[in-house]
Structure 1
Amino acid sequence: MWRVGVDVGGTFTDLFAWEEKTGQQVAAKVLTTKHDRSIAVLEAIKKANIDMADISYLMHGTTTATNALIERSYPDAALITTDGFRDTIEIGRQHRQFLYDPYQTKPKPIIRRRFRYTVSERMNAQGKTVRALDIQQAQEIAHKIKASGVQAVAIGFINSYASGKHEQQMRDILREICPSVHIVLSSETRPIFREHGRFVTTAVRAACMPVMVKYMDDLESRLVENGFKGQLLILKSSGGVMSAATARNHPEDMLESGPAGGVAYASYLTAKTGFNHIVHTDVGGTSFDVSIVENGQGLITRNHELEWEVPIVVPMLDIHSIGSGGGSIGWIDAGGSLRVGPKSAGSEPGPVCYGRGGTQPTITDANLLLGRLDPTLNGKFQLDIPAAEAAMSELAKKIGLSTLETAEGMIRIGCEYMAQAVKKVLVSRGRDPRDFVYASFGGAGALHACIVAKSMNIPKVIVPPHAGVASAFGATVMDLRQDIEKFYYSPVQAANLNEINAIFAELMEKARQALLEQGYAQVERISISKTAQMRYVGQSYEVDVSLPDGEITQSSLAAIEQEFHKVHEQEFGVSSNDFAPAFVSLGVTAIGQMDEPPHLEFNRVSDQDLIKGEREVYFDGAWQLCTVFDGEALGAQDHIEGPAIIEYEHACTVLPPQTHAYLNEMGTLIIEIESSAANDEELANVSMAAGK
C-alpha cells in the first residue's frame, strides 16, 4: 500500500509517495487547476502511476482556505456579537501598519458590516452572568439571518472565553430557526481573552467553512469514484495532520497547510543530517516561505496575521510568506525603478516562456534567458526563449538597460526580497543567521538559494532529495495532532494547583478523545505534552513555555519560572527577576504517532552519465561556461566547484562562483559558500540588533 503526500500550490501541485513495505518512492508535479484544485490532485496521482485502490493514506496540504480569504472569494457570512462590539473585527487594535503614511487603508473585514448583528448579553471575566441573553432579540436576529441567505454564522460574545453559556444559547436559537447554516462559536474556536483575535479567528472559521466543505466533498467524491478506499488526512498549520471530517469544521487550522509539509521535511532532515538549526525555505511559482526548525521542531506562533490587523490566534508554525516565486512578475514603479512581484503569473497564464498566454516577464523567464534553466525544463516541455526575450526586452526599454541586465536585475531584486524575509524571521526571534544552515525546497528554490544565503552570510545550503516536491514529501512523515487550550490567569506563585491539574486532566482527555474520533486506534502510541502561555505580570504579550510531565506541584513552580525566564530571554534578549511570572492560558498537544517510513534509499542511477553537457550561464554581468550535472547520477564521492548547474527531475540547483558542493550518504547536496568580510561585518551588526 502507498502513503501519498500531495501539496496544492498556487502554480504547481506536487506529489510524493512511498510504498509502505518495499520503500519504493515516486514523485510527480502537475500544473494546479485553479478553477477546481481537486482535479490537479487526481492528475498528480495518475501521473505517478499509482492505483487509487492501493493508497492507504492520502496526506493533503492545500491553500484553498488561504486563497479564499485573501481573495475574499467565499459566500457571505454573518457575525453575532455583544452590544457595542459590532465593529471590533474592523476597528482592530488601532495600530498603524505604516506610521507616517496618511493614505493607508485597512484590509476588507472578513464579514461585511451589513451582516454583523448585536444582541444584549453580558458575562463578566469570571464567567458569571451580568446580563442574561435577550431571547426575543436573539430570535429576531435569527430570522434576519434566515432571510439574508448567508451560509455560515460566527458567534462571538465578549468574555465568552470564561463561559460559553450565552453563545450556546444563541446557537440553539439559530439551529431552530435556520437549521441549514454552519454555526461556529468563539468559545469553542479559541477560548482565550482579547476579543479582537478571538472574534476574527471565529469569523475566519465561519467564512471558510462553506468553501472547505464543498472542496472536501468534491475531493472525496472524486477520489471514491476513482477507487480510493484509504484515509484522507489534511495537513494542519500547527505541524500535524487531521481527518477530512475535522478539516471541514476547522478551516482556520489550514491557513499554512501547504508550507507545513515543508517544515515537516526540514524536521525529518534534522534527524537524518545532524543539522539541528535549519532555516527552512520553499520557493514555488507564487510565494517564498521561510521558517525556523530547531532540534527537529518548527517554532510555533500564536500571533500569525493573515493580513495587517487580521490575526489568527490558533497555534501555527511560524512561517513567513512573501509574494516572490518563479512566477513573480517584473514591472516598473511610478518612480522608474525595477520591481519584482508580489503579483504572480501563477499557472494560468504562467511565465511567458511557458507559451500559455503570459505576456509579462517573470523570474522564470529571467532564469531561462540567463542560461540557468534547461530550455526543455528537464525534458518536460520546450520553453519559448524568443517570447521570453521579447517580453524582457520590452521591460528593459522602459528602464534603459539591456535585456540581460534587466533579467539579472530581476533575479537580484527577487533574491533580496527573499533575504529580507529570512532576516525578518531570524532576527525577530533573536537568532543569529550564522548558526543556521539554509534548507532549499521548492521547484525554484535551489535556483536562488546560494544568492540568498550569501546575502545573509549563512555558510551552508542543503538541497535534499526531492527538494522540488518537499512539502509533499514532508506530508508523508507527519503525525496526527490535536491542540486544545483553555484560559487560566494567575501569577505563578498564587496559582491554584488543584484547578490547574483539573484543567490539564480535562484538556488531555479531550485531546485524546479527539484523536480517537478521527480514526486513530493506537491509544498506546498517543503522547501528550503540556504548555502554558506565560508573561510577566503587567505585560501585554506572552510566550509559550513547555511544562513538565505529570501533575504540577509546588516544587514544580520554580522550574517552570526558570523555563519561562529562559524562553523570554531567547525570544526577546532580556529577562527579569523584578517582575512575577504569570500563567495566561494552559494548553495540551496530543500526537498520534503514525508508522515510521521504511528506510528510504536515495539511490543514484549508476549507469547514467554524471555530466549532461555544458552551457553558457550569465553571472555578474558576464557569460561563463558551466558544466551541467545530472543530479540523479551524483554520488557521495562527487565534489563540484561552482560555477555549475545541477539538474534534477523537479528542480535545478545553481552553483554561483565561489561555491562548492558535495553529497552526503542520504543524497543531500551540501553547498558551502565562501563568505566575504563585508558580509561578516553586516551580520555582526544584525546580531547586535538581535540582542546576541
Structure 2
Amino acid sequence: MVEIHYRLGIDIGGTFTDAIVTDGQGQIVAALKIPSIADAPEQAIFQALDQLQSKGVDTRKIELFVHGTTLGVNTLIERSGAVTGLLVTKGFRDVLEIRRLRLENTTNLYGDKTLPLVPRQLVKEINERQLADSRVLTPLDPQQLLQAVDELVLEGVTALAISFLHSYANAGHEQLAEQLIRERYPQLFICRSSAIWPQQREFERTLATVMNAYVGERMGSYFKRLQDGIGPYGVSATLLSTMSNGGMMTAARAAAEPVRTLLSGPASGVIGATFIAEQAGISQVVTFDMGGTSVDVALIDKEPAYSTENRVGDFPVIIPAVDVTAIGAGGGSIAWVDSVGVLKVGPRSAGAKPGPACYNRGGGQATTTDAYLHLGILQADRFLGGQMQLFPELAEQALTILGDQLGLTARQTAQAILDVATANMYAQFSPLMARKGVDPRDFTLLAYGGAGPMHAFLMAREVGIRRVLIPPSPGTLCALGCTVANLRNDFVFTLHKHSRGLDAGELQTHFFSLEQQGRRWIEDEAKGGVNLGGTYVIYSADMRYEGQAFDLEVTLSDSDISDPKEAEIRFHRKYESVFGISQPEAEVMFVNLRASIVGLLPSKIRAASPQVAGSGKPVETRGITFDGLDYQAKVLNREHLNTATRISGPAILEEYDTTVFIPPGYTIHGDANGNIIGEADL
C-alpha cells in the first residue's frame, strides 16, 4: 500500500482564511474557508487543521506546508508596526519626507502629504560618506553612531533601519554599523538596505528597508506563534511563506525579510491561475480575483507580468512582484449614499466581522453580498456548503434602509449595487488595459476568489470579454497557488554604465556574481527540508537610451550577457515593440542587472480529475431578479456539470466555496480538467 502524503496551502485574506489539501496524485482532498481573525491570524489556521483532521486528513503526513498572509500589508496600512528608527548619511535626514516630489494625483493640487513610517525625530544622521564608485569619502564614526542609537532606544525604538548613501555600491559602512549595534543592542530588530535590496534609488531603497523593519517584529512574532501552534498537530514539514514575486521561502527567512511577502496573497492567486490556464491550454488570461474586500486583476501572457512599481497603501515597493492591480470592491464592500445623493459601493468593507448584514454578526449596512442574496442568486441555507446560514430578512432590511435614501425598492437597490460595483470595476479596468497595451477581448477572464465566479460574467459582459474560465475550487485558488509555487528570489546589481564603457567580459562577470548569490540562497532554503527537482536562472537588465530617465527591463539569454552588442539589439527590439520606434544609432545604458533564481518543486499537481460523470441536469429552478426582470434560473451542483452538456444562462452553479452566476447571453460547459468554460452567445 502506497503511503499518501499531502500538500497544504493556506491563504489568509482580510475576510476568509482559505485552506486546500492535495494528495500524492495531485487531487484536491479538502478545501476550507474559515473566517479570518484579524488580531490572531494563526488561530484560523489552527481551526482549519482541526477541520482537516475531522475530515480524515492525517496532518502528520503533510510534506509541504506553504502559506501566504496579509499581516504585513495590514500592518503597513493600519500603521500598527514597531516604533522604528532610521540611520542615514549626514545630510539625508529628509529622504522619507521629500520622497520623489511627485503628485500622487496630478489633477488634485490639494492632495494630502503621505506621512512617513518613521517620524523625523527618529531619523538620525551619521557621519559617513561613500561615493557611487564605491570609494569611501568619509569613514564611519563609530562613537557618533552608537550615541545616535542610544538616543533612539531611549525614545522607545525597537526596530532599526540602516540606509547609507551609495551602500548598493559598497556595503562596508552598513555592515560595520550593524555589527556595532548588535553588540550593544542584541534585542533590536535591525535591517540594512544593502541586504534588503541593494539598488540605486535612495528613497525607494530606504523605504523598502524601513518597511521591513516596521513590520518585522510583528511578522516574526506571528511566525513563532504559528510554528509553535502547529506542533500538536504533528506537522513536521518546514513552514514556508509565499513571496510577492510568486515564489516561496522558509518562514524563518520571511520573518527576517517580511518586505518580500507584502503582496504574497494576490501573487499566489496569479501563480495558481497561471497553472490552471496552462492546463487548459489558454495562454492569454486576465485574472479576476474578487474576495470579500477587494478585486485584484493581473495579466498572464503565458507567464505572469512582473513589476518593480507596485504599491502597498501609500508606499511604492521597488522589490519585484507579480504585477497585480486592485480595481474595485469585493463581496463585503459597503454600499452608501454620498452627500449629493449618489450611490457608492466601497472602498470600506464589512470584513468577516461584523460582515454583511445577512451574516447576522452585527453588521447593519448593505453590501454586495446582501444584494446577491436578495436577488435570489445566493441561497441562504447553502452558503459555504450549508455550514454558514445567511439571513435574507436582514439583507432586505439593510437594502430597504439604503433604498429609502435613493427612492428605490429593496430589489431596485440590490440591482443598483451590482451595477455600481461593475461600473467601478470597468472604470478602472479599461484604462489599466490601455496602459498595458492589450485588448481585453483577446483574453479569457479567469475568475476566482469567494465572489469572483458570482460577478465574473457581469464584468466580462461590461468589458466585452467573450470567454470566462472558472477553475475547480475557485474560492481557494490562492491557497492552491501556494502549493504549486517554486522557491524563487530576485537579486540586483546597479551597474549604471554606457555600453561603450564596459570592459570585456564585465557584463558576464556581474551576472555570474548575481547567479552565485542566488544559488547560495537556494542551497540555504533547501536545507530547511524542501526537495527540489532542479534550478534555473532568469537574466535581465534595466536599459535605456542615454539621456532618458526611464528604463525598460529586457530579458537576456546566455549569449546576450556574454556579448553586450547582442543585449543592445534585444533592447532596441523591445523599445520598438513598446513605443513603435527605436534609435539603433543611440548610446545604450545598462542601469541595473537582475537575476532571478528558481528552485523547482519535484512535480506539479493537477487541479482536479476530469468531470465526466455528472448528469448535466438542473436539480431545481429558482426565481431570481436580474437587470430588473424576473427569471426562472436553472440551479445545478457543480459536480453535476459534465463535458458534454451545455447550460445557457440564466443559471446558477453551487459549490462549497463559491456560487457561479451565469446571466442571460452566456452558455457554459465543463472541460477535461474540471474547469467551467463560459462563452458569450453569438
Match of 1:317 in 2: 322
In structure 2, relative to structure 1, the CA distance for the partners of 1:303 and 1:574 (3 Å cut) is farther
Partner residue of 2:90 out of 83, 92, 109: 83
> Is the aligned partner of 1:36 residue 2:40?
yes
Alpha-carbon distance between aligned partners in 1 of 2:509 and 2:531, rounded to the nearest angstrom: 25
Bigger mean CA offset, 645-654 vs 519-528? 519-528
Residue aligning to 1:678:
none
**1:544 matched to 2:553:** yes
Counterpart pick for 2:312 among 297, 303, 306: 306
Change (3 A) 1:172 1:600: closer
**Which TM-score applies when normalising by structure 1?**
0.93
**Mapped contact 1:351–1:358 kept (Cα < 8 A):** yes
Contact kept? 1:507, 1:588, Cα under 8 Å? yes
| 1:508 pairs with 2:515 | yes
| Residue number in structure 2 paired with 1:5 | 9
SS in 1 for 2:424: helix
Give the superposition deviation at 1:134: 2.6
Listed one character per residue, the Cα deviations across residues 522-580 of structure 1 (whole Å, up to 9, x for unaligned) are: 677111121111122222222221111268333xx343223223333444555433533
The separation in 2 between residues aligned to 1:13 and 1:162, in whole angstroms, is 42
Moved more, 447-456 or 596-605: 596-605
Amino acid at match of 2:259: E
1:393 is matched by which residue type in structure 2? T
Which residue is equivalent to 2:542?
Answer: 533
CA distance in 1 between partners of 2:566 and 2:438 (Å): 24
Which residue of the other structure, out of 498, 501, 505, is the alignment partner of 2:505?
A: 498
> Is 1:104–2:108 an aligned residue pair?
no
Deviation track 1:24-69 (CA, whole Å, cap 9, x = no partner) reads 5221111111120011112123223333211111110111100000
1:658 aligns with 2:652: no
**Partner letter of residue 545 of structure 1?**
V
* Shift, 1:278, TM fit: 0.6
Please list the CA deviations of residues 584-637 of structure 1 after superposition, one character each: whole Å capped at 9, or x if unmatched.
111111111102145454354847784221111212111111111111211101
Aligned match of 1:588 in 576, 591, 595? 595
SS in 2 for 1:358: coil
Structure 2 distance, partners of 1:660, 1:547, is: 43
Q: Deviations over 1:390-420 (max 9, x none)?
A: 1111111112222112111111111222233
Counterpart for residue 123 of structure 1: 130
Please tell me whether the aligned partners of residues 119 and 138 of structure 1 are also in contact (alpha carbons under 8 angstroms). Answer: yes
Q: Is the 8 A contact 1:371 1:618 kept in 2?
A: yes
Alignment of 1:375 with 2:380, yes or no, is: yes
- The answer to whether the 8 A contact 1:142-1:178 is kept is no
Report the counterpart of residue 357 of structure 1 in structure 2: 362
Aligned residue among 29, 51, 73 for 1:25: 29
- Check whether the contact 2:610–2:672 (CA below 8 A) recurs between aligned residues: no
CA contact (8 A) 1:429 1:570 kept: no
* SS at structure 2 position matched to 1:611: coil
Q: In structure 1, what residue type is equivalent to 2:545?
A: Y
What is the CA-CA distance between 1:145 and the residue it aligns to?
2.2
Three-state SS of the structure 2 residue aligned to 1:531 is strand
The 2-side partners of 1:145 and 1:381 are apart by: 50
- The answer to whether the 8 Å contact 1:643/1:656 transfers is yes
Match of 2:74 in 1: 67
Conservation of the 8 A alpha-carbon contact between 2:561 and 2:567: no
Question: What's the offset of the Cα at 1:428?
Answer: 1.8
- The answer as to 2:442 corresponding to 1:438 is no
| 1:577 and 2:584 matched | yes
Matching residue's letter, 1:505: F
Matches within 5 A, 1:427-506: 427-506=434-513
Q: Equivalences for 1:604-615 in 2 at 5 Å?
A: 604=611, 606=613, 610-615=617-622
Tell me: CA distance 1:6–1:143, structure 2 relative to 1, closer, same or farther (3 Å): same
After the TM superposition, which of the residue ranges 198-207 and 542-551 deviates more from structure 2? 542-551
Q: Deviations over 1:83-123 (max 9, x none)?
A: 22212112211111233434321232121222111112211
Count of aligned residue pairs for this structure pair = 671
Kept after mapping to 2: 8 A contact 1:545/1:564: yes
Q: 1:670 Cα deviation (Å)?
A: 1.0
Letter in 2 for 1:329: I
Q: Secondary structure of 1:263's match?
A: helix
Whole-Å Cα distance in 1 between the matches of residues 235 and 445 of structure 2? 38
| Alpha-carbon separation, structure 2, partners of 1:47 and 1:572 | 54
| Pair 569,653 (structure 1): closer, same or farther in 2 beyond 3 Å | farther
Deviation of residue 173 (structure 1)? 2.4
Task: Indicate which of 336, 341, 345 corresponds to 2:346.
Answer: 341
Stretch deviating more after TM superposition (372-381 or 506-515): 372-381
CA–CA separation in structure 2 for the residues paired with 1:204 and 1:107: 14
Counterpart of 1:383 in 2: which secondary structure?
Answer: coil
CA change 1:576–1:450 in 2 (3 A) is farther
Pair 1:150-2:154 in alignment: no
User: C-alpha distance in 2, partners of 1:529/1:662?
Assistant: 38
Q: How many angstroms does 1:18 deviate by?
A: 0.8
User: What does the per-residue CA deviation read over 1:182-238, in whole Å, with 9 as the maximum and x for residues that have no partner?
Assistant: 111111211111111111111101111101100100110101132211111110100
Q: 1:332 aligns with which of 337, 349, 364?
A: 337
User: Matched residue of 1:526: which SS?
Assistant: strand
The code of the aligned residue for 2:499 comes to: V
Which shifted more, 564-573 or 662-671? 564-573
1:272 alignment partner in structure 2: 279
Structure 2 counterpart of 1:267, one-letter code: T
The verdict on how the C-alpha distance between 1:551 and 1:341 changes in structure 2, with shifts beyond 3 A counting, is closer
1:262 alignment partner in structure 2:
269
Query: Percent identity over the alignment?
Result: 32
Whether the 8 Å CA contact 1:446–1:653 is kept in 2: the answer is yes
Q: SS in structure 1 opposite 2:584? A: coil
Conserved in 1, the CA contact under 8 Å of 2:327 and 2:429?
A: no
Q: 2:221 aligns with which of 214, 221, 227?
A: 214
Task: Report Cα offsets for 1:328-356 as digits up to 9, x if no partner.
Answer: 00011122110010100000101110111
Structure 1 residue 502: Cα displacement: 1.8
**Which residue in 1 is equivalent to 2:562?**
553
The CA distance in 1 between the partners of 2:649 and 2:193, in whole Å, is 55
- Secondary structure of the equivalent of 1:38? helix
Distance in 2 between residues matched to 1:537 and 1:641, nearest whole Å: 57
More displaced stretch, 443-452 vs 419-428: 419-428
* Inter-partner Cα distance in structure 1 for 2:569 and 2:624: 55
Q: Which amino acid aligns with 1:26?
A: A
**Structure 1 portions without partners, runs of 5+:** 676-692
The question of 1:408 aligning with 2:415 is answered yes
CA distance in 2, matches of 1:608, 1:232: 41
Aligned-residue offset at 1:505? 1.7
- 1:21: how far off? 4.7
Matched, 1:92 2:96: no
Structure 1 pair 24–255 and aligned structure 2 pair: CA distance change class (3 A):
closer
Name the SS for the 1:518 alignment partner.
Answer: helix
Comparing 116-125 with 385-394, greater Cα deviation is found at 116-125
Give, as a single letter, the amino acid of the residue that structure 2 aligns with 1:335: V
